[in-house]
A and B are shown apart, each in its own frame.
Chain A
């Protein structure tokens, strides 16, 4: 009797899990199917693979300079991630390690900044960039993101778990603060860095509003802008849109799978 109940329970759990898995995977599957179908078939709701893949790919490359656009997105995401991590992890480390009277107050102000929506500072930021003559440059996109309050907060929290004894021991051995950071802190915190890389890379790769406002020419456009433009024409070619979407999804998938194990460790705060 109890065995039957256990089986029933297992069936129910697996049923629900399968449903959840289906719901998560279907959009991805639908996107892949879409790359192989014509726009007309997609609108009709065709769920099977078709033969229009090469046509869709060549249409996309005929309409958009994909190599340039892909390079733009990749450059911004990679350089943005490196700079953000370099600056924000140092800040997070410093906030936790160094004592000062104003530290907590300053940190509260930083956290308050988190609550200001980007749309509110967009116009003043644009004026600033225009005065610096940085409109339509990648610098204008990178500058506002490298000091990321969220990543500073994230590193400070993670640093709380960093054993201070390690730092003390290193100090006794004669290491300077920057040496401690590079030779002791960095290796110990690699899971935290991995998780931060995923978070920042995703955010930069998907960055939309600010590049939209600042970038002015076709040569400088990023993938997200191009997809938005493709998808909103009067008669969108959804096959082409799907190919572009798959191309846009690939790097994030690759980065995630490469760092997946460390990402989970980083989020659960493990330090070995």
Chain B
């Protein structure tokens, strides 16, 4: 009898436990987010989640981090399988790959027009995530470029900050030669397997490997020719750069104090500041391509954006998180700028305190203000589906160009390789 009672009691407790569980799971929402650097983009999403939780205490964010290449492979495999099991609610995608995913997997991502005010974001970031007038991303970190340089080494060679304003690449090479001669420091570290610099030059003049409708824009493009010629000139001035191989040696070049400058995305700031050379660095605008129509001092390298998966069960909540925090919280952008060095794409963010602050590491320069000025000026281009293929074709020609090879031959070879690959 007692046993019987106990069983009834246990069943009752068990049943009420289940109903409690069901109740709490109906109220609590968990948004799963995939990103690739827990100290950078992962940390910014954590901050966003904390802010969102203030007004939405029932929403938690579950961050899963993978290596970037791993995340891309995983996403690709799962989207290709056509099963939506295990896909996250929000995923971070590198900007160069955005069009590839959007065009290869139509319907997989959620358009956010009407929910996000895109006029408040850097135009180039919006355009790269737009297909057929629908925009799919919440634009996140920008790879707005600048020329980071060692003020002490350049001063030793007789140059001031003013000498680096509004210069062309030819002038940059002249300066680099003087720096090398007077101080012995190479101006750059260059990896001949990496075509990132050519991408930077191309976009600074508003062009890409492809036309907006996806056709190769290589042979016959005056801008491509100018970009490759300029870079070849740099590569052939062998005394001004240190040849490096791989990322570690590349960053090691300037963090060790040997290399005097680096032109790259703003995300490099954290690496430069970790090198313990406070007061010795400055930031100048990117040099400009000479004699090219539409050439600017603003360009981009890398960067990424958040995308909501259409298959997500928590889609509305995920979109709301992006819209509420990422879409308008200027204070949030100050926080991630200070804590993670992340320069977002929300243009209004630059009115905040952190963006206006000066940085002693950069000799009291208001570097974030400069970067956000350039951010608004980056020419929009269409990255297309085959940026990686074109990149490989360009990289294959760099060693030949460094040894004095003909630019026209290189262009013909790149054009042929790209056309063969994208058929």
The residues of A with any CB-CB pair to B shorter than 8 Å are: 39-40, 43-45, 63, 122-124, 126-127, 130-131, 133, 135-136, 209, 212-213, 216-218, 225, 228-229, 231-235, 238
Contacts and interface: CB of A to CB of B under 8 A. Distances in A.
Interface string B235-269: 00000000000001001100110000000000100
A40 B275 contact: yes
B267 to A, nearest CB: 6
Given A63-B38, A127-B83, A231 B77 contact: no
Nearest to B64: A218
A130 B85 CA distance: 6
B36 interface: yes
Contact of A235 (B252, B256, B270): B270
A209 B248 CA distance: 25
Contact of B255 (A43, A123, A212, A231): A43
B36 A232 contact: yes
Given A44-B252, A229-B67, A126 B78 contact: yes
Given A217-B64, A235-B270, A229 B85 contact: no
A39 B255 CA distance: 11
A233 B38 contact: yes
Interface of B, helix, strand, loop or mixed by DSSP: mixed
B37 A225 contact: no
Interface string B71-88: 001100110111101101
A229 B256 contact: no
B77 A233 contact: no
Contacts of A225: 66, 70
B67 A231 contact: yes
A225 B40 CA distance: 18
Interface in B21-41: 36-40
Contacts of A234: 37, 39-40, 267, 270-271
A216 B86 contact: yes
A177 B37 CA distance: 55
B67 A213 contact: no
A229 B255 contact: no
A130 B86 contact: yes
A40 B271 CA distance: 10
Nearest to A220: B64
B68 interface: yes
A122 B83 contact: no
A77 to B, nearest CB: 20
B75 to A, nearest CB: 10
Interface of B: 36-40, 62-70, 73-74, 77-78, 80-83, 85-86, 88, 248, 251-252, 255-256, 267, 270-271, 274-276
A152 B166 CA distance: 69
A122 B81 CA distance: 9
Contact of B256 (A43, A124, A126): A43
Nearest to B252: A43
Contacts of B251: 43
B85 A135 contact: yes
A229 B83 contact: no
Nearest to B275: A40
Secondary structure type dominating chain A contacts: helix
Nearest to B253: A43
Contacts of A43: 248, 251-252, 255-256
B77 A229 contact: no
Contacts of B267: 234
A28 B262 CA distance: 33
15 contacts: A43-B251, A63-B38, A126-B83, A209-B73, A212-B70, A216-B64, A217-B62, A218-B64, A218-B65, A229-B67, A233-B39, A234-B270, A234-B271, A235-B271, A238-B248
Nearest to A216: B86
Would you list the 4 A-B pairs with minimal beta carbon distance, nearest first? A232-B67, A130-B83, A233-B37, A130-B85
Contact of A127 (B64, B65, B82): B82
Contacts of B275: 40
Contacts of A238: 248
B404 to A, nearest CB: 31
A126 B75 CA distance: 12
Nearest to B251: A43
B60 to A, nearest CB: 14
Contacts of B252: 43-45
B189 to A, nearest CB: 12
A136 B83 CA distance: 14
Contacts of A127: 81-83
Nearest to B255: A43
A219 B193 CA distance: 37
Contacts of A213: 73-74, 77-78
A127 B82 CA distance: 8
Contacts of A131: 83
A232 B81 contact: no
Contacts of A231: 67
B36 to A, nearest CB: 7
B74 A212 contact: yes
A25 B419 CA distance: 45
A229 B82 contact: no
Given A124-B81, A213-B77, 4 more contacts: A123-B80, A127-B81, A234-B267, A234-B271
B66 A229 contact: yes
A240 B256 CA distance: 20
A216 B275 CA distance: 35
A213 B80 CA distance: 12
B274 A40 contact: yes
Contacts of B81: 123-124, 126-127, 130
